[in-house]
Chain A
C-alpha cells in the first residue's frame, strides 16, 4: 500500500519535471495533431512535412545559435544581414577560385570573425548587444548593397548548388541533415560542456559567475561565436539553394523569425533559462503554423498578423516565475 502511493508520487514528480522543462514539445504535438485533423489531406503527406523542415532549415540553424546568445543574456539582431554578407563572400570566393571548399571555409571563418567583433564590442566596449547588433545590421546590409549596387550576385559553380538541392534517397533534402547535425552539436555543447554551463550561469547571474572565477566576457564572446558559426552554416545552405544572394531581399527579417522561434521554444529573454530541445521544437511550431496558414488559404497579408499573435500567446502561456 505504502509502496504503491510512493511510486505514484514518484511518477507524478517525474511528469511535473518533464512538463516544466519540455512543455513546448507537448504544444508542438498538439499543433501537429490539430493540423492533421483539420488539413489531413494536404498536411499529412510526407512531402509536405519534408518541405516544412527544409523551408525552416536556414532560420532553424540561426535559431539554434540565437538560443545561446539569448541564454547568455544578449541578443543578436544582425544575423539576417550578416547572412547576406557571409553568403556574398562565399559566392565571391567560389567564383574567384572555383573551389567550393575554400569558399565555404572562408565564409564560415569570416562569419565567426564578424561575431567575434560583435562580442568584443559588447563585452569590452560595454555596449548593450541590442544597440551593437542594431548598428551592425545596418552596416552589413548597407555595405552589401553598395558593393552589389543594390542587386544580386550569382554563383558560377553548378556543383555548389548540390549542397542544398540534393536529396538523400530522393526523399530527405540535405538541409534537413545539416539542421539535425547543428542541433546535435549545439545540444551537446549546451548540456555536456563547460562552455554550455557557463553560458547559462552568465545569463542567470553574471556577477556571481565572475566571482566564481570565470572569465564571463569570454563566455559571452564564445556564445556570439557559436552564433557566427550558425550564420556561416546558414549562409552556405541559403546561397547554395539559389546559387545566388540578393543584397536587398535576402535574409530580411530572418533575425526576427529566429528570435521568435527561440522564444516560442521557451527560452527566456532575460537569459539563463531554456533548453535547446525545446528551442528546436520552437522552430517547428512556427514552421507548422506558417504551413497550415498557407494550406488553409489565409490571405498572405494576414499571415504575419496571426504569427504575431501566436508568438505573444506562446510567451503568455509559458510558466513564469512569480515576482
Chain B
C-alpha cells in the first residue's frame, strides 16, 4: 500500500484556449484532511471536477493508492471510491433518511420488494460508525441543515468512499453545526478516509485541516502542513495573502462615517411565530447588524420589513410616518432595497442577461413612453460594471456565466440603482471569495457614506464585526441584546446568541 491516497501529477486543462490549470500537482495522504484554497476562479472546482470524472484533463497523470488510473465519467470515479459532496445539498427533502441513503442503490428482494429492514439497519450502522444519532426513519425535511450535510457524508461512507471531496460544505451552516460536521470528519480520518476540503472560511481551515494547497489563477502557489514539524502553525493572514497575492485579512475595513437622523422605527413587531417584541430604530448612514444562530428569526424579520412576510403586530414608521409594507413592490416604492440570502434561489433570474438582471428593478427609468430603451439599460449596466469591478466580457451574456462573487455584485447593482433610502442585506458575501468580499464591503461603506440606512444580517460573526456600527443579537425570535461597535467580538456575540446573559 502506498503512503498516499491520491496523487495528481502535472495536470493541465484549458477551456477554449484559456489555460485554467497549469501543471498542477497535488498529493493527499491517507487519513488526511487536505484543504484546497483559492479565490473563485482559481481552478479549485475544475481540478476537483477532473478527479470526480466530470471533466476530462488535457494532460497529466492520476494515481490512486499507488495505481495509475484513468477516470472518464462520474460513475467510474465513484467506483474507485471517490465521493464528491457539492456545495448545494443533494438530498431529497420528501424522502426519509434511509431512502435518501440508498437512493439509486436500493436493496430489494427477488420480487422487487424493497428491503426496508436491511436498509435501515445499514444506515444505522453507518451512523454508529460516525457516532451520530439520526433516526433512519425521520423525514429529511425535518432535519437541520447540518444533519443534511451529515447524511451526504454518510451516503459517501455507505458506498465505501476512500476519498471524499467536500466543496464548501459549511457555507449554509451555523457555528455549532459546523463543529458537528468537523467532529464527524475527524472520526472518518481515523479510519484512513481522506478528505479534500474546499472552503473560504480560513478560520476553520486552520483549526481543522492537516495540509493545505493554495491555487491562484490556475497555478499552485504553495503547499504545506498547517502545523509544521517545528510546531509552527500557519496563520489565516498568511493563507489569505497567498490566495489573493496581497494582504487582505489584516486590513481593518471598518471606516468611521457620519450617522444622522432616524429614518426607520420598528415598534413591538411580531412576525408569526418567528420573531416577536422586536423594536429598534435605524438612522441614515448607519449600519445595523442582525445576527444569531439558525432559527433565531432574523431572516423572517427582515423579510417582513421588505413585505415578503406579514407583520402580525406592531408598527413600522418610515420618516416618522406609519407605513404598511404589504408587498415587495410596496417596499420598493417606499425606497427599501433587499438583497436576499440564497442568491441562486431568491435573486438570480437565470434566463436573463447580466444587463437585464441589473435593470429589472428600475426598468421604468429605462423607458421612453412604454418602450424600453436598450441603450439606456446598457449605459446603466456599464456604469455599475465599472463601479463594482464586475469581471465579464459581455454584459449580454447570461448571468449564470458569472462566478458567485460577480453574480452577487450584479444583484447589489440592481438595488444600488434604485437609490434606496434603507437597504437590507442578507448574507451579502455568501459564497463570495476573499477578494470580492472586500470590494463588496467597500461598496457597503460607500452607500452608508451617501446616507443610506443599512441593515445587515449574517451568520458569519466576522462579517458582522467588520461592518456594523451596532449589532442586535437574536435568540429564539427575540432581540437578546445590543452591542456597539467597540463591544463587538465573537465571544460577546456567541454569548448572546446562545441565550446567555453578558
Contacts and interface: CB of A to CB of B under 8 A. Distances in A.
Interface of A: 192-194, 196-198, 200-201, 203-205, 207-215, 272-273
Contacts of B482: none
Of A197, A208, A213, A273, chain B has the most CB atoms within 10 Å of the CB of: A213
A205 B356 CA distance: 13
Contacts of B178: none
Contact of A204 (B351, B414, B418): B351
Contact of B347 (A197, A208, A213, A214): A208
A204 B350 contact: yes
Interface residues of B, number: 30
Given A198-B360, A214-B360, 16 more contacts: A192-B371, A194-B367, A194-B370, A194-B372, A200-B352, A201-B360, A204-B352, A205-B348, A211-B308, A211-B346, A212-B349, A212-B414, A213-B328, A213-B329, A213-B333, A215-B329
Contacts of B374: 192
In order of increasing CB-CB distance, the 3 nearest A-B pairs are A213-B332, A204-B351, A272-B351
Given A214-B360, A215-B327, A192 B348 contact: no
Interface string B329-352: 101110000101000011111111
A212 B347 CA distance: 8
A116 B374 CA distance: 30
A212 B371 contact: no
Contacts of B327: 215
B372 A205 contact: no
B277 interface: no
A212 B346 CA distance: 9
Contact of A200 (B332, B333, B351, B361): B351
14 contacts: A198-B360, A198-B363, A204-B352, A205-B345, A208-B345, A210-B308, A211-B306, A211-B308, A211-B328, A213-B329, A213-B332, A213-B361, A215-B327, A272-B349
Nearest to A195: B370
A212 B328 contact: yes
A8 to B, nearest CB: 14
Nearest to B363: A194
B361 A205 contact: no
A204 B329 contact: no
B349 A208 contact: yes
A14 to B, nearest CB: 12
B328 A210 contact: yes
A214 B361 CA distance: 7
A211 B337 CA distance: 9
A284 B306 CA distance: 46
Nearest to A207: B346
Contacts of A212: 328, 332, 349, 360-361, 414
B364 interface: yes
Interface in B481-499: none
Contacts of B347: 208, 211
Given A192-B372, A194-B372, A215-B327, A209 B360 contact: yes
B345 A207 contact: yes
B328 to A, nearest CB: 5
Given A192-B371, A204-B350, A272-B350, A211 B338 contact: yes
A208 B346 CA distance: 4
Nearest to A191: B372
Contacts of A204: 349-352
Given A212-B361, A214-B329, A215-B329, A201 B371 contact: no
A192 B329 CA distance: 22
B372 A197 contact: yes
Interface string B415-428: 00010000000000
A211 B338 CA distance: 7
Contacts of B363: 194, 197-198
Nearest to B364: A194
A197 B367 CA distance: 12
Contacts of B361: 212-214
Contacts of A210: 308, 328
Contacts of B306: 211
B331 A213 contact: yes
Nearest to B338: A211
A273 B349 CA distance: 11
B408 to A, nearest CB: 13
Contacts of A272: 349-351
Interface in B390-421: 414, 418
A247 B248 CA distance: 74
A193 B338 contact: no
A209 B356 CA distance: 12
B406 to A, nearest CB: 17
A215 B330 CA distance: 9
A208 B328 CA distance: 11
B352 A201 contact: yes
Contacts of B329: 213-215
A18 to B, nearest CB: 13
Nearest to A217: B327
A203 B351 contact: yes
A88 to B, nearest CB: 33
Given A211-B347, A212-B361, A273-B351, A197 B328 contact: no
